[in-house]
C-alpha cells in the first residue's frame, strides 16, 4: 500500500498513541477506535503501524476498518454533520435538511469540504425518533430541526463563509 510522504510527519504521534496499548491482538479494535477518535479517520500509515504492533496482517486490519461504519478510511472533517434518515426522520422530511446542508457546504453526503472542516453523513435512526428530524454534530444532538435552523447550526461551527457563499 502506498503511503504518502507527508503522513510520516505524524508517525511519532501515531506511535505514541498505538504503543499506549500492549501489542496483544485483542487490543486491535480499541487501538483503531482511539486512532479514529483522534484523527477522525484511519490514516494509511497508522493502519500499517497498528498491524505491526498487534501482529495482524494489514489486509485484516484494513478489512476490519472497512467493515465497521464507525471507521473511516478517508479523512473526515473536523465537524461531522450526521443527519438521521431513519423511518421517523425520513417522514419528517430529513431529505430537506440534507439538501440544505449539501447546498450550503457545497459537498455531497460522505464528502468533506476542501478545508477539512465539515463532512456530511447519514445514519439510519439515532434512536431519538421523538425528536425527528434529528441531526448530530460531533456528539451534540439537534432535535426537531427545521430547514430554517440549518444555516444557524452551520454558523455555530464557524461555517459563516460557507453559508453566505452559497446563499441565493
Part of the chain binding ligand FES (CB under 6 A), chosen from 19-27, 30-38, 129-137, 148-156: 129-137
Closest CB 167 distance from other proteins, rounded Å:
36
Joined grid coordinates for residue 165: 457563499
How far, in whole angstroms, is CA 56 from its chain's centroid? 25
Q: Which does 84 bind (CB under 5 to 8 A by kind): ligand FES, other proteins, none?
A: ligand FES
Q: Looking at residue 6, what DSSP letter applies?
A: G
CB contact set of 37 (below 8 Å; sequence gap of 6+): none
Q: How far apart are CA 48 and CA 112, in angstroms?
A: 24
Q: Is residue 5 close enough to count as binding other proteins by CB under 8 A?
A: no
E strand map for the chain: 79-84, 118-123, 135-137, 140-142
Q: How far is the CB of 143 from ligand FES (least distance, A)?
A: 9
Residue from the set 57, 75, 127, 147 that interacts with other proteins by CB under 8 A: 57
Residue from 31, 45, 50, 62 in contact with other proteins (CB under 8 A): 62
60 interacts with, out of other proteins, ligand FES, none, CB within 5 to 8 A per kind: other proteins
47 near other proteins, rule: CB under 8 A: yes
The CA distances from residue 72 to 34, 68, 89, in Å, are 12, 9, 24
Residues 6+ apart with CB under 8 A from 45: 3, 7, 8, 10, 11, 14
The closest residue (CB) to ligand FES is 86
Find the shortest distance in angstroms from Cβ 120 to other proteins.
20
Q: How far is the CB of 156 from other proteins (least distance, A)?
A: 34
Q: For the chain, what's the residue count?
A: 168
Which residues sit at the interface with ligand FES, rule CB under 6 A? 84, 86-89, 125-129, 132, 134
Which residues sit at the interface with other proteins, rule CB under 8 A? 1-2, 44, 47, 57-60, 62-63, 66-67, 73
Amino acid at each position: 500500500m502506498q503511503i504518502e510522504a507527508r503522513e510520516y510527519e505524524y508517525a511519532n504521534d501515531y506511535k505514541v498513541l498505538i504503543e499506549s496499548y500492549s501489542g496483544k491482538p485483542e487490543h486491535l479494535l480499541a487501538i483503531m477506535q482511539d486512532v479514529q477518535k483522534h484523527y477522525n479517520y484511519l490514516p494509511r500509515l497508522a493502519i500499517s503501524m497498528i498491524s505491526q504492533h498487534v501482529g495482524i496482517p494489514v489486509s485484516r486490519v484494513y478489512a476490519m476498518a472497512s467493515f465497521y461504519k464507525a471507521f473511516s478510511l478517508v479523512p473526515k472533517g473536523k465537524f461531522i454533520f450526521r443527519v438521521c434518515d431513519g423511518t421517523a426522520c425520513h417522514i419528517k422530511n430529513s431529505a430537506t435538511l440534507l439538501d440544505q446542508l449539501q447546498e450550503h457546504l457545497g459537498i455531497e453526503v460522505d464528502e468533506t469540504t476542501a478545508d477539512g472542516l465539515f463532512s456530511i453523513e447519514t445514519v439510519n435512526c439515532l434512536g431519538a425518533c421523538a425528536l425527528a428530524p434529528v441531526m448530530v454534530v460531533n456528539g451534540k444532538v439537534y432535535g426537531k430541526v427545521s430547514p430554517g435552523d440549518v444555516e444557524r447550526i452551520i454558523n455555530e461551527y464557524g461555517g459563516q463563509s460557507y453559508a453566505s457563499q452559497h446563499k441565493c
